[in-house]
Structures are given as C-alpha cells and as structure tokens.
Amino acid sequence: KVCPVNGRSAIVVEGIQPQVMTNENGILENDLFPVSVEGWKRRGAPTVYAGKDKLFEYINGGAEVYLSYSFIQVSKAVYVKNGTDNSVKVDIWEFGRSDDAYGVFAKDKAGQGVNIGNEASLYENYLWVWKGKYFMSIEPYRGDISPDDITFIGAAVVDNIPAGEVHLPAILMYLPEEGYIQGSSRYFHKKIILDNIYISDRFIDRNVLNLSEQTDAVVADYKSETSSLPFKLLIVKYPEKSVAEESFKNFVELRESWGEDVVKTGRLHTFEDLKGKYSSISCINSFIIVTFLVETREDAEFYVNNVISKVEANQD
C-alpha cells in the first residue's frame, strides 16, 4: 500500500464537537466530522440518516443492499476549500459490527489500496475506507477536486473516528490462497448481494440457499493454472447444520430441474451446464461450499475439497 498524502507531515483539525442529537429518533452519536481541516471548512452541521426509513430518503433505490448488513445510520458532511467553490462530500456509515462495515467496503470499493484506516481504496478522486464498525466514502461534490484533496480530507476524518475492535470476517479464513484473485472477495449475509454477482446464466429467483441475516457468506474469484477465465467460489456458514443440509438439497434439486448432467462422488455433487461449465457443491457441518462457471470438473471439485479440508482442520 502507498500513502497518497504527499508533502504534509501534519493535519490540523479544529473544532471537534463531542455529540450531535438527532431530534426525530433521539439517537445520540459522536460528531465524527471536524469543523475544519487545514484549509477546508465543514459546511454546517452533518446530516444524519438513521434507520431504514431515513436511509430510503437518502438513497432511494439502493438502500436495500446496505440494509442487508447491520446498518445503523449514515452521516453526511460537505467540506469546502477556503476561498473557492471546490467541495468534497463525506459519508460515514455506521454498522452494528465491524464485519459488516468491511463487507460494505469490499462491495463498494474500486481502484488501488491506500494506507488509510484499516483498509482503503482510491479510484481517481473517489476514496473508500473501512475502519472498525465504520465505512466511509469520500467523493467530489463541486468544482475541481484532485485525488490529493480527497485523500487529505479522508485521512483527517478517518483519524477522528474511534478505532474499536477490528477483525476480518472469520469466514474469510476458509478461502483457499491458490488461484485467488486479489481483492475479489465479497462478504455478505442476504440473497440481494448474491443476486448482483454473476454465478449462472440463469437467474435464481428462489432463495434456495436460505441466505438470511443469520448466515455468513463469502464469494470470491479464482483462476487456476489451467483455466483461461476466472470462476466463482462461494462459502456459506449457517447457524445450524440442518439449514445447511436443506440448502444443499435445494441446490441439487434446482440444478437437476435444469436438466444438467451430474456426477455424485460421496458428499460432492458436480453439475455440467449446457455450455460445458462445471459447478460443484458439498455440505459439511454447518457449511456449504459451491463453485460456479468452472472450465474443468477437476478445478470445480478441487476448490470445494480445499475448503472442506480447511473446515475439518478448524473444527472445535
């Protein structure tokens, strides 16, 4: 990672207010936005959108995706550069768990990693940051805004956010290292996230995998030495083994209903679609592991078996 804030050994932050009360819902929150940051000044008080209804007011049409995580509130502030009309918008999203803040960061980010917060990514003059239970997006609002402007404001605001307890979602430990495409993993809970990831030529309407707020899931891209195109690996952990077994059964019945050829080897089922792509699935303990759109049966099964080995090795 490369620190993008060049030539500034210190950032002067002034006027941090201790608390903000939102009258409508009575939520007391720390004011995370400094009033000024060396050459930039916050325009007015931050706007807070707490809870489901307020989030729909802010981003009507895209709120459900964020509500699939443990969303608490999002706070918005605009910073204006002294003597200009140039301004930057900062959104700070608060979630119930650091896992979920990471999940939203991984979903939204683009570009290259930078050294801000726990993880951050910069694409042109857009910045995304994960820090503890907070996810931040910093973007141009008006005027000519450079990447240095964005990272300068972002670093100052992030430094003002309490660190808290930080860890990557535990399910990420089961992802195989071999063939993993860096930065491709997406952590989530509900079907709405998987619906926006290409895993099949057919849209899967029903929630056959029983994804819910009680499931932890990760999907990632892989490319083996023998594959010409990337493929997907999905791991889901359920609260109970019985739900995992039901989800496994649902998936097998769905693929069989599509008329796909299947090879059953013990607890591993491998399907071949009409385009010659393979998908393997297995159920172990409270986990299901699935590969999608794989060019060879060998790779489809290899990556599922790799995860099975990791699950078995980490049994209590």
- Segment 24-77, tens digit of pLDDT: 333 334 478 999 999 999 999 999 999 999 999 998 788 999 999 999 999 999
Binned at pLDDT 50, 70 and 90, residue 18 comes out as: very low
Q: Are 69 and 189 in contact (CB under 8 A)?
A: yes
pLDDT tens per residue, range 153-212: 999 999 988 877 788 999 999 999 999 999 999 999 999 999 999 999 888 889 999 999
The tokens of 50 are what?
A: 């707490």
Give the CA diameter of the chain. 71
- Mean pLDDT, the chain, rounded, equals 88
Average pLDDT over residues 12-35: 46
DSSP-based three-state secondary structure for 90: strand
Q: Which domains are assigned to the chain?
A: 13-159 (3.40.1000), 170-313 (3.40.1000)
Binned at pLDDT 50, 70 and 90, residue 15 comes out as: very low
The whole-number pLDDT of residue 181 equals: 96
Contacts for 207-215 with beta carbons within 8 Å, 24 or more apart? 208/247, 208/250, 208/251, 208/254, 209/236, 209/247, 209/250, 209/251, 209/288, 210/238, 210/243, 210/246, 210/247, 210/250, 211/236, 213/68, 213/70, 213/189, 214/189, 214/238, 214/239, 215/189, 215/190, 215/239
Q: CA-based angle 67:59:140, to the nearest 5?
A: 120
pLDDT tens per residue, range 199-243: 998 888 899 999 999 999 999 999 999 999 999 999 999 999 999
Percentage of the chain beyond pLDDT 90 is: 79
The whole-number pLDDT of residue 316 equals: 57
The whole-number pLDDT of residue 165 equals: 75
Average pLDDT over residues 141-158: 95
The whole-number pLDDT of residue 61 equals: 81
Give the distance, in angstroms, between the CA of residue 144 and the centroid of all CA atoms in the same chain. 29
Percentage of the chain beyond pLDDT 70 is: 90
Query: Whole-model pTM above 0.85?
Result: yes
